[in-house]
A and B are shown apart, each in its own frame.
Chain A
């Protein structure tokens, strides 16, 4: 049985096509303004990659902040539900999922079947998600993809006063004037986001195994900060950005 899942996030659109429990293809595209058009494009590309025709796909389920924009989806599921299902595909012993995306940070507790037992979301503050690292990469003039490695080379701790990503931009400029090395500043930013996410997760409790997904889990520096803050090991699946779409595709399998 062939199904598809489409995850329309605030920054990117992801599509995963699954057949009988195997992933046939994955596509990710920048969301842009016209999310419904991009959702279409991404789906067509995924079909091509999977060598599958549209009519062979039995069911399409959507998820993500823009889930209603996937006009071709029959159904939609919550992002927390998608997270749980997607993660269990890789790691059947996971009971806590942490998903840090561009504009949202989430914590999900689930059981062995992927049923969501509890969850917590931060969608109000940009400093608890990827938008913070993006703002910092602009302020520091460092490529976003280099931030992870750079922060691992940091030796010192730099206290950051600003809790807001907008204020942090100005604070970073004065830190640079004080000749604080960029890698120390980046580590401070990762630590700040990790601290925020960790205190959020603690409100629902941390039960192992713990898995981290979402775009920010590709940042090795942030992952280290999260491990230090949580005090437990973190499992990260391959292609962690696709977990939502995968979870939706698996939900479509019924």
Chain B
């Protein structure tokens, strides 16, 4: 079978420190996106376990699979999870969720958890959309702008490029930073046109890292204009899968003239973390 360069590694994690110990609030947040699904388990609002996998053709199935995988080896059973909150575009079809919350609200909350109360502007670059969110010190959403109509500035766009240049998607970012001189960005924002433009550049003899640099640059430019429309207030942070692509992150920072806060956990799970925290809040209010 031909190598699938766009296929990123699915993964799960269990906390080495947080242990099952009669905690009061056992909650779960599941973020079902169009490209990936994350399930996060929290004990009293502390990160316990999580999983991230590709969303399949059935979103209820994907959410269940992600949850099962996140629980694997933790000693916790699904029936012991007191509150499950769904988010992401697949949240409307998650039969075992107690409640659903919009992904904007979840990313705001999740960013606040990951980055702390100083973060006021969040850029979420997901699989098929990108969002610029203004939040307060508690992670509550003040304003936002979203592009979900166009693949430019989204993970799908990056997957298309990884496939084009035959570089595993996880290596794309680093490779794009190895250029000596920054090339001009690809002129087309449309992924389809950018792809033809990039093919032509490769034919002309451009090296792969240069083509990737040009594309990451165009993508950074695209999302920065979205950010500027909603206004950028320090501190600034990035969530979603592309937060792990240093090629795009560095170029965004350069264009904004602002450094993004560095996460010490995987920022792709921000949405699911936010959802799990909402679950804790609902439980604490005694609600169902």
- Give residues in A with beta carbon < 8 Å to B: 10, 33, 103, 124-126, 131-132, 135, 163-167, 170, 173-174, 177
Contact = CB atoms under 8 A, between A and B. Distances in A.
Contact of B150 (A131, A164, A173, A177): A164
B191 A126 contact: yes
Nearest to B147: A164
Given A103-B193, A131-B192, A135-B192, A164 B151 contact: yes
Interface string B34-54: 110000000000000000000
Contacts of B128: 167, 170
Contacts of A170: 34-35, 128, 156
B20 interface: no
Contacts of B150: 125, 163-164
Contacts of B156: 166-167, 170
Most buried by A among B35, B149, B192, B200: B192
A126 B193 contact: yes
Contacts of B34: 167, 170
Contacts of A33: 199-200, 203-204
Contacts of B203: 33
A127 to B, nearest CB: 8
B81 interface: no
A142 B19 CA distance: 53
A247 B58 CA distance: 51
B190 A126 contact: yes
B160 interface: yes
Given A33-B203, A124-B190, A167-B151, A103 B160 contact: no
B184 to A, nearest CB: 18
B143 interface: no
B57 A177 contact: yes
A8 B62 CA distance: 46
B192 A166 contact: yes
A177 B156 CA distance: 20
Given A166-B157, A167-B151, A177-B58, A125 B190 contact: yes
A174 B200 CA distance: 32
A173 B58 CA distance: 11
